[in-house]
């Protein structure tokens, strides 16, 4: 549960920083700081997503209510699979994009990460677009996730939200 909410907060922060930092013109200290924070968050999300996959592989999630329709269960599984894929693909695409752009990633300003792809402007351009579109896909998947929560909570009264809140019953 804690991992879910920490990752949600980090992904929201990374998305907001990505949105803001790309609108800052030039290379100001603020813009460079935001880019560093964005990368640090991305690396952290990638590590936590791997930890989350390992947790998921060894711990069975709570069962869904019997009152859910088969299509809802299928949609829930597909939606969660999409979220996991995107939690991995977005930081990896950002890391590859940064490498191809010839910019090092120094995690938290102290741990230099290896360069995966040599500097190549053509590859960087493709990876930048991929990174952006994967983020829009994540935005769509999270929106669907939130709409499903609202439906199941307010319309179906299935109280699924309580299972994910630390103060739920």
Q: What is the pLDDT of residue 156?
A: 72
Q: What is the pLDDT of residue 168?
A: 57
Tokens of 22: 């790309």
Q: What is the pLDDT of residues 37-60, one digit of tens each?
A: 999 999 999 999 999 999 999 998
Domains of the chain (ranges, CATH numbers) = 2-164 (1.20.950)
- Nearest partner of 90 among 54, 141, 56, 55, judged by Cα: 141
How far, in Å, are 27, 52, 80, 101, 143 from residue 73 at the CA level? 47, 21, 11, 41, 17
Dist. CA 100–CA 163, nearest whole Å: 42
Mean pLDDT by 10 residues, the chain (169 residues): 89 94 91 94 97 92 83 92 97 97 93 93 97 97 91 75 67
| pTM: predicted TM-score of the whole model, two decimal places | 0.88
């Amino acid at each position: 549960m804690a991992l879910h909410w920490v990752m949600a907060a980090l992904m929201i922060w990374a998305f907001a920083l990505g949105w803001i930092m790309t609108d800052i013109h030039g290379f100001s200290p603020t813009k460079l700081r935001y880019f560093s924070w964005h990368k640090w968050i991305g690396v952290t999300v990638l590590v936590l997503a791997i930890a989350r996959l390992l947790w998921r592989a060894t711990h069975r999630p709570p069962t869904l209510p019997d009152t859910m329709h088969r299509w809802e269960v299928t949609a829930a599984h597909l939606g969660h699979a999409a979220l996991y894929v995107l939690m991995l693909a977005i930081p990896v695409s950002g890391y590859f994009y940064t490498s191809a752009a010839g910019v090092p990633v120094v995690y938290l300003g102290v741990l230099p990460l290896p360069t995966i792809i040599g500097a190549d402007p053509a590859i960087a351009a493709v990876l930048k677009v991929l990174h952006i579109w994967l983020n829009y896909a994540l935005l769509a998947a999270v929106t669907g996730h939130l709409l499903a929560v609202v439906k199941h909570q307010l319309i179906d009264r299935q109280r699924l939200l309580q299972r994910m809140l630390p103060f739920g019953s």
